[in-house]
Amino acid sequence: MADIAIRAVRKSYGKNPTLHGIDLAFASGEFVVILGPSGCGKSTLLRMIAGLEEITSGEIAINGKVVNRLEPRERGCAMVFQNYALYPHMTVAGNIGYALKVAGVPKAERLRRIEETAKIVGLSDYLDRKPAALSGGQRQRVAMARAIIREPNVFLFDEPLSNLDAKLRVTMRAEIRKLHQRLSATSIFVTHDQVEAMTLADKLVVMNKGVVEQVGQPLDIYHRPASIFVASFIGSPAMNLFDAAVDVDNACLTFGGTKMVIDRALAVRLGARHITVGIRPEQCVVAPEGVSIKVDFIEELGSGRVIHSELNGHPFAATVDEHTRARPGDRVTLELPLAHLHLFDQETGRRIEIDLAPRAARNSASQQTLQAV
């Protein structure tokens, strides 16, 4: 159990900066997921916590102790690597127990702890095998057992599930979550898979291009993305985004060929500026009035279907339930509820914190004037 503080941490390789000042704090026992596209610096950050990568500036503290200058073994972290990095010439038992062997734990105790750990991950029958004779999932378990046996304060996972097939990935995800509940060590999990991120995280960190875009609980981030990047990165299919203009005089938003009347006071608060309006596909509602779109093609999901179309040149997706019948070429009318619109400042890319459908107006939200131009 340990809390982690990351303060103004930067990393550059030669002249190329990859992390531009990261500030994060993780509470003890938290399951943190760092999510971002490849090349955003998430793995670098993880490796800096582990001690495998030097910290260019700033500091990282584990349990209140600055660890910048400590060797990996002195930091109390254990790491699970993407390609498992098992020792190919050692048996499963040898792999799991290597850290103890290095630490000079007597053989009898070592064997006892290897067996205990192997039991946790369900590898008791495979202790004499070499990694080459194991399946992907079993190798993954060995890698986890190797981390568990050290009883670390911090677990670090570097995209550990990306080499597994889809089904196994779901199983292992559940196992990692269970394991965390059982050991309750602080865990940091790096991934580019938003489903993994949403399902595992207590706290989600979204990174892009070496900066932290947003930190929060997964649902918070889903409902209130702090920037255009987060809005487009989280959620599947991705949020529909449109360039929009605020017309203060007529109190309306114009985007995607539609005009949407908003509260005059809000329009004044927004001011005449260029913004980006977003709406999630799953929050578009089929309605008698609203935006009319022409269906390009349809993705069946079983529990529903995704209608793909275009709105004023922008790709547009809407998730509808399985009862909505539509064929390519049909026209469908969708309502975009004001309450679910996300507004972003185009200059900064940050969210504009405004509730377009204040509580009083919410009842009449369905009657909001919403006309195709």
Partner 1 sequence: MIQRTPFANALTYCVMIFGFLLLIGPFIVIVSGASQTFQQVNAIPFSFMPQDRLLENMGAAWSRAHLGTAMLNSFVMASLVTVGKVALSALTAFAIVFFRTPLKGFFFWMVFITLMLPLEVRVVPTYAVAADLFQPVRLLISAVTGFEVSVDWNLLNSYAGLTLPLIATATGTFLYRQFYLTLPDELAEAARMDGSGAIRFFIDMLLPLSRTNMLALTTIMFVYGWNQYLWPLLMVTDPQYKTTMMSLVALLPSDNGTPDWNVTLAGSLIIMLPPLIVVAVLQRWFVRGLVATEK
Binding partner 1 by CB under 8 A: which of 17, 29, 72, 136?
72
Contact 54, 44 (CB under 8 A): no
Under the binding rule (CB under 8 A), the answer on residue 89 touching partner 1 is: yes
User: Any residues with CB less than 8 A from the CB of 232 and at least 6 apart, and which?
Assistant: 238, 239, 241, 278
Binding partner 1 by CB under 8 A: which of 57, 87, 112, 310?
87
Other residues' Cβ atoms within 10 Å of the Cβ of residue 106? 8
Under the binding rule (CB under 8 A), the answer on residue 103 touching partner 1 is: yes
Question: Which residue, 13 or 297, is less far from partner 1 as judged by CB?
Answer: 13
Alpha carbon distance 149, 110 (integer Å) = 10
Alpha carbon distance 198, 171 (integer Å) = 15
Under the binding rule (CB under 8 A), the answer on residue 311 touching partner 1 is: no
The length of the chain, given as a count of residues: 373
Question: Which residue, 24 or 79, is less far from partner 1 as judged by CB?
Answer: 79
DSSP string spanning 247-309?
A: ETTTTEEEETTEEEE--HHHHHHH-S-EEEEEE-GGG-EEEEEEEEEEEEEEEE-SSEEEEEE
Residue 137 Cβ, how far from partner 1 at the closest point, in Å?
Answer: 18
Residue 169 Cβ, how far from partner 1 at the closest point, in Å?
Answer: 20
Under the binding rule (CB under 8 A), the answer on residue 150 touching partner 1 is: yes
C-alpha distance from residue 71 to each of 149, 191, 292 (Å): 19, 25, 61
Q: Which amino acid is at 183?
A: L
Residue 142 Cβ, how far from partner 1 at the closest point, in Å?
Answer: 11
Alpha carbon distance 261, 223 (integer Å) = 23
Binding window for partner 1 (CB under 8 A); candidates: 8-16, 75-83, 221-229, 359-367: 75-83
Under the binding rule (CB under 8 A), the answer on residue 40 touching partner 1 is: no
Contact 281, 319 (CB under 8 A): yes
Under the binding rule (CB under 8 A), the answer on residue 157 touching partner 1 is: no
Question: Which residue, 146 or 192, is less far from partner 1 as judged by CB?
Answer: 146
Question: Which residue, 158 or 213, is less far from partner 1 as judged by CB?
Answer: 158
Binding partner 1 by CB under 8 A: which of 5, 61, 70, 85?
85
Question: Which residue, 82 or 324, is less far from partner 1 as judged by CB?
Answer: 82
Residue 298 Cβ, how far from partner 1 at the closest point, in Å?
Answer: 43
Q: Which two tokens stand for residue 235?
A: 């959620």
Count of chain residues binding partner 1 (CB under 8 A): 24
Under the binding rule (CB under 8 A), the answer on residue 78 touching partner 1 is: yes
Q: Beta partners for 315? A: 310
Under the binding rule (CB under 8 A), the answer on residue 110 touching partner 1 is: no
Contact 28, 186 (CB under 8 A): yes
Alpha carbon distance 80, 72 (integer Å) = 14
Q: Which two tokens stand for residue 239?
A: 């949020």
Question: Which residue, 15 or 327, is less far from partner 1 as judged by CB?
Answer: 15
C-alpha distance from residue 261 to each of 249, 324, 342, 351 (Å): 11, 28, 15, 20
Contact 227, 344 (CB under 8 A): yes
Residue 98 Cβ, how far from partner 1 at the closest point, in Å?
Answer: 5
Binding partner 1 by CB under 8 A: which of 34, 49, 77, 298?
77
Residue 89 Cβ, how far from partner 1 at the closest point, in Å?
Answer: 5
Binding partner 1 by CB under 8 A: which of 26, 98, 222, 229?
98
Under the binding rule (CB under 8 A), the answer on residue 83 touching partner 1 is: yes
Residue 358 Cβ, how far from partner 1 at the closest point, in Å?
Answer: 53
Under the binding rule (CB under 8 A), the answer on residue 146 touching partner 1 is: yes
Binding partner 1 by CB under 8 A: which of 49, 67, 79, 356?
79
Under the binding rule (CB under 8 A), the answer on residue 195 touching partner 1 is: no
Taking each helix axis from N to C terminus, what angle separates 92-103 and 136-148, rounded to the nearest 10 degrees?
20
Under the binding rule (CB under 8 A), the answer on residue 52 touching partner 1 is: yes
Contact 156, 144 (CB under 8 A): no
Q: Beta partners for 363? A: none
- Kindly list the residues in this chain that would bind partner 1 in the complex (CB under 8 A): 50-52, 71-73, 77-79, 81-89, 98-99, 102-103, 146, 150
